[in-house]
């Protein structure tokens, strides 16, 4: 079982994200710091060694906070398990059947309404080299197992600007 939380401070707020459930918790400083020392499984009462690490906080407050964290865990709202972990290994072994090649990071139209910011996607304008396209096709074939039909999409700002790459790739 791998539970995962991320915690951070932003604009004076202490925020805890439970990755597997998607739960976002805004917590106080005590809770934020206590999370450095706790992890499932939770004991029924806060262990003395954890209380000792919480300098500057009232012992009763630490114990109460620990109980609240335990309740969140028991309610599957904090430190939740990844329900999809068992499927991840299967996905890694599954053969691929399709690939989208971003052959053109450019466009010759420069439309102001373009979602790709006139074709450069907010980056440098560039085209895929034919050799890169060929290596991508080799990868697709190698990792497609026994599939007879494979799909390749040529994507970009304007894929026809990289026509030589498209032709040499297929």
The four Cα atoms 60, 64, 70, 72 give a dihedral, to 10 degrees, of: -160
133-149: pLDDT as tens digits: 999 999 999 999 989 99
The CA-based angle 42-46-48, given to 5 degrees, is 125
C-alpha–C-alpha distance, residues 55 and 31, integer Å: 13
The whole-angstrom separation of Cα 133 and Cα 140 is 11
Q: Kindly tell me if the per-residue pLDDT of 1 is higher than 60.
A: no
Nearest-angstrom CA–CA distance, 28 and 58: 14
Average pLDDT in the 96-110 region? 91
- Run of H or E residues at 104: strand 98-105
> With bands split at pLDDT 50, 70 and 90, how would you rate the model's confidence at 11?
very high
Report the distance separating Cα 129 and Cα 165, nearest Å. 6
Q: In a 10 Å sphere around its CB, with 0-12 CB exposed, 13-18 middle and 19+ buried, how is residue 103 labelled?
A: buried
Q: Which helix (H) or strand (E) holds 79?
A: none
Minimal CA–CA distance to 123: which of 111, 107, 138, 137?
A: 107
Do the beta carbons of residue 166 and residue 159 sit within 8 Å? yes
Mean pLDDT over 51-74 rounds to 97
More confident residue, 65 or 106: 65
DSSP string, 24-39: EEEE-HHHHHHTTT--
Run of H or E residues at 132: helix 130-142
Would you tell me how many other CB atoms lie within 10 Å of the CB of residue 66? 23
Q: Please report, for the chain, the start and end positions of each structural domain, with discontinuous segments joined by +.
A: 5-74, 95-169
Lowest mean pLDDT across 33-37, 54-58, 114-118: 114-118
């Amino acid at each position: 079982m791998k539970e995962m939380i991320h915690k951070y401070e932003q604009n004076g707020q202490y925020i805890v994200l439970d990755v597997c459930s998607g739960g976002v918790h805004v917590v106080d400083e005590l809770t934020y710091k206590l999370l450095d020392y706790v992890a499932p499984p939770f004991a029924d009462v806060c262990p003395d060694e954890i209380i000792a690490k919480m300098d500057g906080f009232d012992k009763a407050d630490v114990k109460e906070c620990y109980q609240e964290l335990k309740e969140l865990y028991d309610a599957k709202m904090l430190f939740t398990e990844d329900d999809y972990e068992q499927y991840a290994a299967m996905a890694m072994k599954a053969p691929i059947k399709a690939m989208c090649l971003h052959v053109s990071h450019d466009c010759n139209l420069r439309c102001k309404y373009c979602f790709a910011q006139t074709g450069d996607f907010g980056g440098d304008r560039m085209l895929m080299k034919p050799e890169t396209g060929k290596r991508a096709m080799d990868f697709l074939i190698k990792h497609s197992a026994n599939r007879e039909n494979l799909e390749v999409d040529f994507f970009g700002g304007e894929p026809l600007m990289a026509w030589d790459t498209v032709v040499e790739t297929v």
